[in-house]
Amino acid sequence: MGNDKMNKCCNKGIYLTDMCMPGRCTNVTTELCCMQKFMQSKYKCCLDDSDAINSPGDAFSRCCYKNFVDEEDKCCPAERAKFHWSTAYEICLPN
């Protein structure tokens, strides 16, 4: 896969594996794909320059959650993403 096909977050170095695509992921890659998606959601929100994201409050964390937990994701299922979200040692805050 070329750079032009990757999410812009991947160009920032948040790309652990190419196995986290529908049709390529398996039960074995779930944890890795969830970890990758968590980092991608954080950096996607870091790229958001809106006032809401950059102001005091929980807007940044809500942005991360919205980008991380997805009912349609086959590689990091919503149930697993919700568990990861509630147990992650790294909270989703701006750098």
Q: pLDDT tens for residues 21-75?
A: 888 999 999 999 999 899 888 888 887 777 777 777 788 888 999 999 999 999 9
Of 6, 27, 24, the residue nearest 77 (C-alpha): 27
* CA-angle at 3, arms to 19 and 54, nearest 5°: 90
pTM for the model stands at 0.74
Using left for φ > 0, alpha for ψ between -120 and 50, and beta otherwise, residue 77 falls in: beta
**pLDDT value of position 75:** 94
How far apart CA 75 and CA 54 sit, in angstroms, is: 30
**pLDDT value of position 15:** 67
